[in-house]
Chain A
Amino acid sequence: MSAETVSVTGWGRTAPTAARLIRPRTYEEAVAAVRGCGARGGIPRGLGRAYGDAAQNAGGAVLDMTALDRVHVIDAGSGIVLCDAGVSLHRLMRVLLPLGWFVPVTPGTRHVTVGGAIGADIHGKNHHVSGSFSRHLLSFELLTADGEIRTVSRGTPLFDATTGGLGLTGVILTATVQLQPVQTSLMSVDTERARDLDDLMARLTATDDHYRYSVAWIDLLARGAATGRAVLTRGEHAPLDALGTRARRDPLAFRPAQLPAPPAVLPEGLLNRRTVGWFNELWYRKAPRARTGQLQKLSTFFHPLDGVPHWNRVYGRGGFVQYQFVVPYGREDTLRRIVRRLSERRCPSFLAVLKRFGDADPGWLSFPQPGWTLALDIPAGLTGLGALLDELDEEIVEAGGRVYLAKDSRLRPELLAAMYPRLDDFRALRAELDPRGAFVSDLSRRLDL
């Protein structure tokens, strides 16, 4: 088991801290790492796609779980997989699609691990129908602070503390997940444009229920009457009979395209209002006003950004902040106000993503709750950004909403309890399960989790 001291950041590349990186190759090594993690504790890490500091631990240990990556059992009849937590969703797609199964929930990138999917209780474009990842999780094995491995099943406090628990209850070693059946690896996609935010919300509210997958991309640089103009893309796994004769020969093929990565060092200020404005304009105009039943690859529909490895580098050395929040249905006023403020502030933000969430799952720190969720990237160097986001947080709390911790890197800790009412239960469970603080992250230090 190797260990070296390295500088670690999340996907947003802000707030680097140094930690001992340990890469266990067996469960025994993982147990040894947890038992020996020392005074500053340890935190599991998957593929580091959390934007903020959830998977870093200054001065302590970071357990890179990606070497534990075996797919143990696939029940191709009932669509259940048992695999290590270090397995990526990309890998699962490769293995499962030929068998006619797909992951139940996928985020905007396939390059996340099953452990990270549980730790953040991730949601996908199908949240309004399928809920978050934990809804499809049958059970998992958890290595806890005492060095023991427990099997955790649904409906227990430890299950609900761990789903969305950001690695702070222990290290997930394996997981058993219920999959989604598919006939093909293609998506049947409907696209339409919305001229402004109200038009967009009306369209989403009226017809989201007709689609399993739904998301809208808002151009935050559009102002005035066009504030909130957007492109909606919604879809369904294409059935076999939707395919042409050629595609039908290999209906479950999975061949995502990849472009070269941008260079490691890019000039600062590459993304500014002008360049991003051009991009957004172009993208809005090239979207069809309305188009139905277009066949797209899974990767095009779900993971457009994965086509460019290390795309996070375009934000330069200063990195970027991803801000994602949800406000309940009935508080569209807050959403409108926030979109207007972001547009007026002229944040050089690539498309922001708007989506409707369905019912919440029971994870104590799980993010999704019924309502509207908006996610956007903003360069961290933007003047006044910190103060602006603080003000938006206040509005969100007032509306009964919350921000997503797996993406957070800057929340004011005082607001956490209002956003996550089960916070005290989470703290109490941790105090009992992990009295000497074996599991610590920069996020848990910053927000006093």
Chain B
Amino acid sequence: MKDAFGLPQSLLVLGGTSEIALATARRLVARRTRTVWLAGRPSSALEQSAADLRAQGADVRTVAFDALAPESHETVLGKVFAEGDIDMVLLAFGVLGDQAHDEREPLDAVRVAQTNYTGAVSAGLVSARALQAQGHGSLVVLSSVAGERARRSNFIYGSSKAGLDAFAQGLGDALHGTGVHVMVVRPGFVRTKMTAGLPEAPLATTPEEVATAVELGLRRRSETVWVPGVLRWVMSALRHVPREAFRRLPL
């Protein structure tokens, strides 16, 4: 059960090797979380992530989960929920893709969309139904500022996150009053393996800062969280820049 500060005792991470998710899990385990499920594509990295959290004192289990296999989500996630209440689901999987390459290879572009968007639609709906049956729980969705307004330099990823973001907002409204809380997290540039080697964007942040913002959002039962917080204002300004000018911005 969550406590008065929205802190979960049990956590399910979808995308169990995500650096942002693991920083969040570490933070939550240090406070209240005792049971962690890491769902992801089987790998030594996944097992290592589990071992690290175990060393912190949590009871951790891994489960094979592929965002690109939505037909399996019901079964895979169903088994996790059958083992006991999940107080928080952190939907963290995602791929950045390679914009220039993906523009030339439409099927690769589609994989980005299928991972980030349709994979999340299916895993999100399956999780939401299970949480609703419990009558409580938080579904925390890692969206991105990239979805707020698609940019020339990464609109394939951006459009998939735009879809995810809109989906998660709608789901949050649909679940209003059911005891289930949906929180959309929109980080800017976060230094993780996903962005390794890319030129840093302004206001770049760390997985730990995202984790801190998630903890605060849980306490406040926020529906939207920007990391860092000033991005809320930056993006609402950028949103209103005319197309002509936006195209020419060095973003």
Point out residues on A near B: beta carbons under 8 Å. Answer: 5, 7, 12, 14-19, 40, 52-53, 57-60, 317-319, 321, 380-381, 385-387, 409-410, 412-413, 442-443, 445-446
Contact = CB atoms under 8 A, between A and B. Distances in A.
B136 A380 contact: no
Contacts of B239: none
B27 to A, nearest CB: 12
Which residue, of B3, B9, B85, B180, has the highest number of chain A Cβ atoms within 10 A?
B3
A58 B220 contact: no
Given A18-B135, A58-B179, A59-B179, A446 B1 contact: yes
Given A15-B4, A18-B135, A58-B1, 6 more contacts: A15-B3, A318-B221, A386-B4, A386-B7, A386-B31, A442-B1
B117 to A, nearest CB: 28
Q: Which of B1, B6, B133, B178 is packed against the most chain A CB atoms within 10 Å?
A: B1
Contacts of A60: 135
Contact of A7 (B5, B177, B219): B177
A58 B219 CA distance: 18
B232 interface: no
Interface of B: 1-7, 9, 31-32, 85, 132-136, 177-180, 219-221
Contacts of B3: 14-15, 386, 409-410, 446
Contact of B179 (A7, A317, A318): A7
A21 to B, nearest CB: 12
B220 A318 contact: yes
B139 to A, nearest CB: 14
Given A409-B3, A412-B32, A18 B220 contact: no
A394 to B, nearest CB: 14
Contacts of B132: 18
A402 B178 CA distance: 34
Given A59-B133, A386-B31, A18 B178 contact: yes
Contacts, number: 77
Given A380-B219, A445-B85, A446-B9, A53 B1 contact: yes
Nearest to B180: A18
Q: Main SS of chain A's interface residues?
A: loop
List 3 A-B pairs, minimum CB-CB distance, nearest first.
A59-B135, A18-B179, A58-B135
Contact of A380 (B1, B5, B31, B133): B5
B172 to A, nearest CB: 15
A18 B1 CA distance: 13
B5 A59 contact: no
A410 B135 contact: no
| Dominant secondary structure of chain B at its interface with chain A | loop
Contacts of B31: 386-387
Given A318-B220, A381-B219, A386-B31, A17 B136 contact: yes
Nearest to B85: A445
A215 B180 CA distance: 41
11 contacts: A7-B177, A16-B179, A18-B135, A52-B4, A58-B1, A59-B133, A59-B134, A386-B5, A410-B5, A412-B32, A442-B1
Contact of B136 (A5, A12, A387, A442): A442
Contacts of A7: 177-179
A7 B179 CA distance: 6
B136 A58 contact: yes
A59 to B, nearest CB: 3
A15 B6 contact: yes
A14 B135 contact: no
Nearest to B134: A59
A19 B135 CA distance: 6
A445 B1 contact: yes
A58 B138 CA distance: 13
Contacts of B220: 318, 381
Given A7-B177, A59-B179, A40 B135 contact: yes
A386 B3 CA distance: 10
A5 B135 CA distance: 9
A8 to B, nearest CB: 8
Given A7-B177, A446-B9, A58 B134 contact: yes
B209 to A, nearest CB: 16
B87 to A, nearest CB: 9
Contacts of B134: 40, 58-59
B108 to A, nearest CB: 42
Nearest to B181: A16
A380 B4 contact: yes
Given A58-B135, A380-B5, A410-B4, A17 B179 contact: yes
